[in-house]
Amino acid sequence: MIDLERIKNACTELNRRIGVGLEVLDQNQSVIASIISRGVAKSKDNYISASPRTDKSYTVRIFHNDSSLLNDATVQVIMMYLEPYFVSKTVVDVLVEAIENSTQRDDIIKNLKDCGVDNKLTYRLYLLSVAEEHRDDVLDIASQIIEPYSNDVIFPISSKHILLIKECDDEITPDDAQELAYALEQSISLEIPKNKMSISVSGVYNSLDEIKKAYTTSCDTMRIGAICNAGKTVFVSDKLRLEELLDKLPHEVLTNILESYSTDTISEAWDDKMIDTVHALFENNLNLSVTARELYTHRNTLVYRLDKIKKISGFDLRSFDDAVMLKILMTADKLSSAQKN
């Protein structure tokens, strides 16, 4: 698929600069673009035809009233100017353009259709952030993991970012998406150090014309996850909803929330064991038994730590309301510090 609008613009520019008339014919010899100035007659005697080397299925007719000017050198210069515009777009080209240029929805759908791709696709977007020197290696490894004959698409979007559009269905939960991200990270880490890469996963989208929104969300998830879950390398948007909500609040609002409570409620005032306990409890949905196993500690020891946290902060993490309030405070504290810096 070629970008017809860009070809028309290129023909218009040539017409303006050197006064030639131009027609572009498709594979069926139908005229798909015509830029002919007034005064330039169209006849068999005053034009010459040529095909772009980048796609010989198209024909360009070059018109000029003085046919002697249409020599080989002139035609060669004109075709060299036009040929880059006859490079067919791929699905990746369409998606990259949609992300970088804010292409209109109808244009995205049309461009995808021209590539033989249906806009309707249920997917999650996996954003791989890697050190620049490892990007191509990561792209190569991740490409080999993609299931054959699937609708998955992987491509670089910048020197440090790779996007994987992973087809999914309604049965794929956020936990499943997270497990896939960990598996992807594990495969890549056999070649690339883990500290050189991180992965964020978007929510579920149902059409490719939402790719820019999915990419923006994935970038936000990556940034917020790095702030609120320091040390981790996989971040799932569906698991960071509270953090993403608080991130939308102005710095002044976050500060006011924090000032309403004693500084002892904020994680920086606690020792590492207390902080690890709180994070593990949140990650395991306040389940004491699972949290104790994850921390390799006895349940009674965990209860002792929770009692200590309650004594210092006033919040009992065995109470849902207290746990939510403390989660808000800890998140607001981290986001506020990041915004301030």
Q: What is the mean pLDDT of residues 198-214?
A: 96
Q: What is the mean pLDDT of residues 308-328?
A: 88
Q: Let me know whether 102 and 215 are in one domain.
A: yes
State how far Cα 258 lies from the chain centre. Answer: 33
Q: Let me know whether 15 and 105 are in one domain.
A: no
Q: Would you say residue 290 has pLDDT above 60?
A: yes
Tokens for 123, please give them: 């997917």
* pLDDT digit string, tens, across residues 247-271: 999 999 988 888 887 655 555 556 7
Q: How confident is the model at residue 284 (pLDDT cuts 50, 70, 90)?
A: confident
Strands 59-63 and 47-50, by their bridges, are: antiparallel
Q: Let me know whether 96 and 226 are in one domain.
A: yes
Last residue of a domain, one of 56, 86, 116: 86
pTM of the model: 0.74
- CA–CA separation, 43 and 64 (whole Å): 10
Least confident of 123-127, 197-201, 336-340: 336-340
Q: Would you say residue 185 has pLDDT above 90?
A: yes
Q: CATH number, domain at 212?
A: 3.30.70.270
Tell me, yes or no, whether 244 lies in a domain: no
Average pLDDT, the chain: 88
Tokens for 258, please give them: 């924090």
Place of tokens 């292409």: 103
Q: What is the 3-class SS of the chain, one letter each residue?
A: CCCHHHHHHHHHHHHHHHCCEEEEECCCCCEEEEECCCCCCCCCCCEEEECCCCCCCCEEEEECCCHHHCCHHHHHHHHHHHHHHHCCCCHHHHHHHHHHHCCCHHHHHHHHHHCCCCCEEEEEEEEEEECHHHHHHHHHHHHHHCCCCCCCEEEECCCCEEEEEEECCCCCCHHHHHHHHHHHHHHHHCCCCHHHEEEEEEEEEEEHHHHHHHHHHHHHHHHHHHHHCCCCCEEEHHHCHHHHHHHCCCHHHHHHHHHCCCHHHCHHHCCHHHHHHHHHHHHCCCCHHHHHHHCCCCHHHHHHHHHHHHHHHCCCCCCHHHHHHHHHHHHHHHHHHHHHC
Number of domains comprising the chain: 3
Q: Let me know whether 292 and 326 are in one domain.
A: yes
Q: Let me know whether 101 and 66 are in one domain.
A: no
Residue 39's domain comprises 4-86
- CA–CA separation, 237 and 303 (whole Å): 30
**Residues above pLDDT 90, as percent of the chain:** 47
Q: Let me know whether 185 and 296 are in one domain.
A: no
Q: What is the mean pLDDT of residues 274-297?
A: 88
* pLDDT digit string, tens, across residues 291-317: 999 888 899 988 988 998 888 888 898
Q: How confident is the model at residue 180 (pLDDT cuts 50, 70, 90)?
A: very high
pLDDT at 258: 86
Q: Which amino acid is at 142?
A: A
Residue count of the chain, please give it.
341
Q: Which amino acid is at 266?
A: I
Last residue of a domain, one of 238, 259, 277: 238
Q: Say if CB 33 and CB 22 are below 8 A apart.
A: yes
Tell me, yes or no, whether 227 lies in a domain: yes
- CA–CA separation, 291 and 285 (whole Å): 9
Strands 234-236 and 197-207, by their bridges, are: parallel
Q: CATH number, domain at 287?
A: 1.10.10.2840
Q: Would you say residue 272 has pLDDT above 70?
A: yes
